Structure 1
Amino acid sequence: MATSQVQTVSSAADKAKLTLAGLLVVAALAGFYFLGKQGPLVQWGSLAGGLAAACVVFFLSETGRQLIAFSRDAWREVGKVVWPTRKETMQMTAYVFALVVLMAAFLWFTDKTLEWVLYDLILGWRK
C-alpha cells in the first residue's frame, strides 16, 4: 500500500532551485532563437544543453526527488497489473462488437416502430 504525504512547505533553497530551473528553460529557448544565425548545430546544441541543465537542477530539488519517487511507485504498481491474455482480449472485443450491433438493431427497430406509429397511424401523413 502506498502512503502519500502532502508537503506544502518548501525551503528557500528548494524554491531557488526551481526558479533556476525555470530560468534555464527560458535561457535555452532564448538561446535557440538568438543563435539562429550561428547554424543549426549551435542552435539545437544550446537548446539541448539548456534543457539538460534545467532537468539536472530540477531533479536535484525536493520536487524533483518527489517526482522520481512517484515514478518509481507508479512503475512498481504497473508491474502488479494482471494483463488479460490475447484470448480474453479477443473475447471481450467480440462481446463489445456484438452488443453494439444488438443495440444498433434495437434502436433502429424502435425508431422505425415509432415512425410508423406516429406518421402512419396517428397523423396519417403517409397514405
Structure 2
Amino acid sequence: MNAQVNSTSSVFDYSKWFVAIVLICLAIGGNYYFSAESLIYRVLGVLVLLVAAVGVALMTEKGKSINRLRKEAWVEVRKVVWPTRQETVQTTLVVIAFVLVVALILWAVDTLIGWLVSMVIG
C-alpha cells in the first residue's frame, strides 16, 4: 500500500516538474515571439512566468526539501557572530600589508633570477 502512495506522489511530482519546464519554455519563447513589444512588458511577462514556474517547482517533494533547507540555512545565518567594523578594518589592513610584503618578496626574487639569468646568458 505504501508503494502505491509513493508511485502516485511521484507521478504528480513529474507532472508538476513538466508544468514548471513548460512555463520556463513559454517565458523564453514568449520573449522571442514578442520581441517587437516594449522591453518592460517582456521582462514583466518573463518574471511572472518564472515566478509561477518556481512556485510549481516548490510544490514538489524535492522543492519542499529545498525550501526546508533554505529555511534551516537562514536560521543558521542568524546564529553567526559577525565581526565589528573595527575588526573588519583591521583584518583588511593586515591582508593588504601581507599582500604588499609578498609582492615585494616576489619582485625581489624575480629581479634576482633575472639578474642571474642575464649573467649566465651574457
- TM-score, normalised relative to structure 1: 0.69
5+ unaligned residues in a row in structure 1: which ranges? 1-8
Q: Deviations over 1:100-127 (max 9, x none)?
A: 222222223333334445544xx383xx
Counterpart code for 1:18: W
CA root-mean-square deviation:
2.8
Check 1:42–1:89 CA distance in 2 against 1; reply closer, same or farther (3 A cut).
closer
Counterpart code for 2:67: I
- The aligned residue for residue 6 of structure 1 is none
Q: CA deviation at 1:33?
A: 3.0
Q: Which has the higher helix share?
A: 2
Q: How many residues align?
A: 114
State how 1:26-105 maps to structure 2 within 5 Å: 26-36=25-35, 39-40=37-38, 43=42, 46-105=45-104
Quote the Cα distance in structure 2 between the aligned partners of 1:106 and 1:45: 54
Check 1:112–1:16 CA distance in 2 against 1; reply closer, same or farther (3 A cut).
same
The answer on whether the counterparts of 1:21 and 1:58 sit within 8 Å (CA) in structure 2 is yes
- The aligned residue for residue 11 of structure 1 is 10
Q: CA deviation at 1:76?
A: 1.0
Counterpart code for 1:20: V
Counterpart code for 1:98: A
- Which stretches of structure 1, 4 residues or longer, exceed 3 Å deviation after superposition? 39-49, 111-120
The answer on whether the counterparts of 1:33 and 1:43 sit within 8 Å (CA) in structure 2 is no
Quote the Cα distance in structure 1 between the aligned partners of 2:103 and 2:41: 59
Q: Identical aligned pairs, as a percentage?
A: 33
Quote the Cα distance in structure 2 between the aligned partners of 1:116 and 1:104: 18
5+ unaligned residues in a row in structure 2: which ranges? 1-6
Check 1:119–1:49 CA distance in 2 against 1; reply closer, same or farther (3 A cut).
closer
Q: CA deviation at 1:91?
A: 1.1
- The aligned residue for residue 4 of structure 2 is none
Give the number of the structure whose alpha-carbon radius of gyration is greater. Answer: 1
Q: Which secondary structure does the structure 2 equivalent of 1:82 belong to?
A: coil
Quote the Cα distance in structure 2 between the aligned partners of 1:124 and 1:32: 63
